[in-house]
Structure 1
């Protein structure tokens, strides 16, 4: 690893490449987070641009790379990236205020924990059934978080544990809403609060659910090995509670899927495929149509995860074959349905089949433009299409890039 003195002599592009490589981030993901193409970022890193990126773009690259001090990239003026807090969606500021705020005023009235839990479940249903899940579910979260925090602060015994379980669900949904559209510190705080509330609830299913959330954040910030171990621990925690407990069974399966995707991303093909098989076994044993309210674990979600695993293993042909057996209409989540088409577009892109990439990504955008616009892989693919799909598809590629707010 280069020393600080060695880095001081390097150009901006070299520093960016070194930080990206050191933190395990791919060009595709970083480019998608800043709304540019993978080729553009490669040109930045290789010093091929006539001028280095402007300061606002360097700030965005710094956030995507997870650096706090911008001098790691620029080598001069000390600028703290952490001061610039990302709000890539209108719901972020209100959710941030609810998570970060402190309210010490006495509670005006007792919080109805049964009603609170029902509201959290309603927000999760909105997340899965809306074509604009961040806007619709995100609008409910500030009130849920504030009421949940007040309930945990003021209640005792079983009522406090029930309130903590509901609050953990609200924080879990916050992690889903904030992913890719908020800065990493806020995402970390939401996941940490989710786990803290689950520990108060002291229930294996709630703890496993919070582990699933925390594992998402660990995996997306370069801690894949830690995320895999956490899922293994959650699976072991749920083991003694599987008999007759559908929630425990569904969470066990969801953690298997989480582990499968994580294993694929770190090249552990055998572990990834074994986890998919384990998840499918329990998914088929659950009653038809059943799905966990958070993770939507079931046969359809397992099939989508199997596609993701093949793509992450860079086995695009197997991914396309696996996807051909999936009926999109059986996927009980609009966001997950859009993700299926994103995975297909990734598989086509691996084969340099730009017409297939365009068609799949366009279909995913039609399912949920908000979901595709907020996902860095979709944005990166849209930028790649503009530069690689050829004259025949250029007009449609540029139209799709504009829909996703991407500048190629």
Structure 2
């Protein structure tokens, strides 16, 4: 699938970095219409800046471009658009060209989501575990990214009905979160926290067809601790799926109301990407 961008002129890297941070804020605040309006211009300017740069500046430009394409893939996944795959592929190419492990990890995660959504669950798991193996778990930032890859791999394994692998990956992610309970923020969409890991476990149990195993976890979960409206809406979506599968329409409806309160522009509700 081709994704055409408007022609753009290179902008200073500090300007592009600021605009990319603003775009991320729009995504995490679930202002998807605002993000959709700003992304084409941001991507074209970032590509122009990358093409005009050399040396260290080119690496920095590629990192910014990768992050912008990660956001484009995240948004396309929300909209159930095939453009998510193209954007994720471009994100990973730019991230690898940057030579920076954190953008590579962020891009790998969104590409794996597109793989899982297309039915290639086992391939997504293999890809994510391979990428996580090259990240240093002892270093704070790369260790946090590694945890997010493990969580996404667990969800992919669950979607592929591989219970043993899914639970093993969740346990590994839990261990890393326990060692680093206050992981730094700023990662795309998913932060490595105990609350995030618990929400993922509930989502995995839903996909495995055993939502009853998530009830006790849900009872002790404080979704308000999650940092962004987008993630809180995602968590309440998992709660709604769990209660619906268990036949509790009242709890499911209450959870869906929370989704609407947190993120009115959240599209697709029960089918959002991870």
Of 96, 111, 114, which residue of structure 2 is paired with 1:199? 96
- The answer to whether structure 1 residue 145 and structure 2 residue 43 are counterparts is yes
| Deviation of 1:289 (Å) | 6.3
- The answer to whether structure 1 residue 101 and structure 2 residue 8 are counterparts is no
Which deviates more, 277-286 or 157-166?
277-286
For residues 201 and 21 of structure 2, the distance between their equivalents in structure 1, rounded to whole angstroms, comes to: 27
For residues 127 and 118 of structure 1, the distance between their equivalents in structure 2, rounded to whole angstroms, comes to: 14
For residues 126 and 166 of structure 1, the distance between their equivalents in structure 2, rounded to whole angstroms, comes to: 16
Deviations 1:215-264 (A, max 9, x none): 011111111111111101111121xx333x32201110000001110111
The structure with more radius of gyration: 1
Aligned residues: 271
> Is contact 1:133–1:335 with CA below 8 Å preserved after alignment?
no
Of 235, 249, 260, which residue of structure 2 is paired with 1:340? 235
- The answer to whether structure 1 residue 127 and structure 2 residue 27 are counterparts is yes
> Is contact 2:236–2:255 with CA below 8 Å preserved after alignment?
yes
| Deviation of 1:363 (Å) | 2.2
- The answer to whether structure 1 residue 161 and structure 2 residue 44 are counterparts is no
Give the secondary structure class of the aligned counterpart of 1:352.
Answer: coil
For residues 121 and 283 of structure 1, the distance between their equivalents in structure 2, rounded to whole angstroms, comes to: 25
For residues 126 and 292 of structure 1, the distance between their equivalents in structure 2, rounded to whole angstroms, comes to: 13
For residues 293 and 183 of structure 1, the distance between their equivalents in structure 2, rounded to whole angstroms, comes to: 23
> Is contact 1:195–1:211 with CA below 8 Å preserved after alignment?
yes
For residues 185 and 176 of structure 2, the distance between their equivalents in structure 1, rounded to whole angstroms, comes to: 12
Query: What stretches of structure 2 of length at least 5 have no aligned partner?
Result: none
Of 6, 10, 13, which residue of structure 2 is paired with 1:113? 13
- The answer to whether structure 1 residue 285 and structure 2 residue 179 are counterparts is yes
> Is contact 1:124–1:293 with CA below 8 Å preserved after alignment?
no
| Deviation of 1:101 (Å) | 2.7
State the match for 1:362 in structure 2: 257
Query: What stretches of structure 1 of length at least 5 have no aligned partner?
Result: 1-81, 83-95, 379-408
For residues 123 and 299 of structure 1, the distance between their equivalents in structure 2, rounded to whole angstroms, comes to: 26
For residues 271 and 232 of structure 1, the distance between their equivalents in structure 2, rounded to whole angstroms, comes to: 11
> Is contact 2:158–2:166 with CA below 8 Å preserved after alignment?
yes
| Deviation of 1:306 (Å) | 1.1
State the match for 1:242 in structure 2: 137
Q: Do the aligned partners of residues 366 and 189 (structure 1) sit closer, same or farther apart at CA in structure 2, a change above 3 Å counting?
A: same
Give the secondary structure class of the aligned counterpart of 2:119.
Answer: coil
Q: Do the aligned partners of residues 183 and 127 (structure 1) sit closer, same or farther apart at CA in structure 2, a change above 3 Å counting?
A: closer
| Deviation of 1:160 (Å) | 0.4
| Deviation of 1:136 (Å) | 3.0
- The answer to whether structure 1 residue 210 and structure 2 residue 104 are counterparts is no
For residues 298 and 267 of structure 1, the distance between their equivalents in structure 2, rounded to whole angstroms, comes to: 25
> Is contact 2:16–2:42 with CA below 8 Å preserved after alignment?
yes
> Is contact 1:165–1:198 with CA below 8 Å preserved after alignment?
yes
For residues 306 and 312 of structure 1, the distance between their equivalents in structure 2, rounded to whole angstroms, comes to: 10
Of 224, 228, 232, which residue of structure 1 is paired with 2:121? 224
Q: Do the aligned partners of residues 139 and 300 (structure 1) sit closer, same or farther apart at CA in structure 2, a change above 3 Å counting?
A: farther
| Deviation of 1:163 (Å) | 0.4
